[in-house]
Amino acid sequence: MGVIITPAMVGQVVISGLLAGALYSMVALGLALIFGVMRVINVAHGTILMLGAYTTFWWFQLLGINPYLSLLVSMPLMFLLGVFLQRSMVHRVVDAPELSSLLLTFGISIALVNVTQYAFSSDVRSVEFLTGSFLVGPLALSKSRLVSFAFAVGLTLFAFWFLQKTKLGKAIRATSQSREVAMVCGVNVQRIHLYAFGMASALAAAGGSLVAVVVAIQPEMGQVYTFKSFLVIVLGGAGNYPGALLGGMLLGLVEQLSSLFLTTQVSEAVAYVLLVLVLLLRPTGLLGGRST
């Protein structure tokens, strides 16, 4: 029992796809950073996003602080958590086979999720702020998604500016191109790893804070975003930072359009089938791997 699909409907879901895609891009950029400099796949990325979301929730709930302002709290907080995780555990598996880092970060992830469940319970929470939408002709533009989109784009551009222009950013890019060369050029690679993990976690936290305003949150919400970030960085080419942007937007669009033309159920599979196709036809991702 379907409905006839009109251009207005396509327009509507394309907008939804782009709005969601910008968030995916930003979060996945974090994962790409870690993968770029360390070749580590961080399965706990979505968990850090979840913690960022809870930070925003509690600031809003207890202190009534504007959820967008709480980015100023959640990002530094998760930056520190990222640095701590890298310093205490992850640095020991940087050169190990990928199995070690996959498992280690998974272990960190379920421990953190379970602690969160215990501390905050599994009850679903949400930040009701800026609900509703602007109506433009046949299209409805969600206010909270628009603002989240703007923040995501802004933060992503800032991250790119940082990577391109600052000394630290250049060192990060150099490390992800070739660790040996970076070392020879006097880059302290260990420190770069710390910064990369911290920055990545801050980006995830930003994602969490922005997601908290858009959908309800709960302790197990993170895994979905980890998986989506996997998809994004593989689509765009792992370790390729502009690729993460493209991948995020693409994923947002594919999800929405396949939900429209097929069903929401099937859209999950469509994204993965696309992933496998890209891997097989262009194993280095759409924009090619590693280059920056």
Q: Which residues from 80-109 bind another protein, rule CB under 8 A?
A: 89, 92-93, 96-100, 102-104, 106-109
Nearer to another protein, 69 or 269 (CB): 269
Reported as type and span, the H/E element at residue 134 is strand 133-136
Return the range that interacts with another protein (CB under 8 A); candidates 62-70, 136-144, 166-174, 193-201. 136-144
Asked if 135 touches another protein (CB under 8 A), the answer is yes
140 backbone φψ class: left, alpha, beta (φ>0; ψ -120 to 50): beta
Phi (first) and psi of residue 142, to 5 degrees? -65, 130
Nearer to another protein, 100 or 292 (CB): 100
241-261 vs 222-236: helix crossing angle, rounded to 10: 110
Phi (first) and psi of residue 26, to 5 degrees? -65, -45
Closest CB 123 distance from another protein, rounded Å? 5
155 neighbors 207 (Cβ within 8 angstroms): no
Q: Is 127 exposed, middle or buried (0-12, 13-18, 19+ CB in 10 A)?
A: buried
DSSP state of 257: H
Question: Closest Cα to residue 110, out of 43, 27, 55, 207?
Answer: 43
Question: Closest Cα to residue 105, out of 116, 95, 93, 97?
Answer: 93
75 neighbors 136 (Cβ within 8 angstroms): no
Asked if 64 touches another protein (CB under 8 A), the answer is no
Closest CB 280 distance from another protein, rounded Å? 5
Instruction: Select the residue interacting with another protein from 13, 78, 155, 204 (CB under 8 A).
Output: 13
Closest CB 216 distance from another protein, rounded Å? 5
Query: From the centroid of its chain, how far is CA 200?
Result: 9
Q: Under rule CB under 8 A, which residues in 25-54 are in contact with another protein?
A: 35, 39, 41
Closest CB 278 distance from another protein, rounded Å? 10
Closest CB 126 distance from another protein, rounded Å? 5
Return the range that interacts with another protein (CB under 8 A); candidates 24-32, 169-177, 180-188, 263-271. 263-271
- Tell me the C-alpha to C-alpha distance, in Å, between residue 83 and each of 49, 201, 221, 264: 15, 8, 22, 37
Asked if 124 touches another protein (CB under 8 A), the answer is yes
Residue where the block lists tokens 């990928």? 98
Nearer to another protein, 187 or 212 (CB): 212
Number of residues that bind another protein (CB under 8 A): 84
What is the token pair recorded at 96? Answer: 């190990």
Instruction: Select the residue interacting with another protein from 3, 62, 167, 184 (CB under 8 A).
Output: 3
Q: Under rule CB under 8 A, which residues in 207-236 are in contact with another protein?
A: 215-216, 218, 220-221, 223-224, 227, 230-231, 234
Q: What angle do CA 284, 286, 292 make, to 5 degrees?
A: 70
Asked if 126 touches another protein (CB under 8 A), the answer is yes
Return the range that interacts with another protein (CB under 8 A); candidates 66-74, 178-186, 191-199, 254-262. 254-262
Mark residues 140-169: x for contact with another protein by CB under 8 A, - for none: x-xxxx------------------------
Asked if 66 touches another protein (CB under 8 A), the answer is no
Residue where the block lists tokens 């958590």? 81
Return the range that interacts with another protein (CB under 8 A); candidates 3-11, 48-56, 66-74, 189-197. 3-11
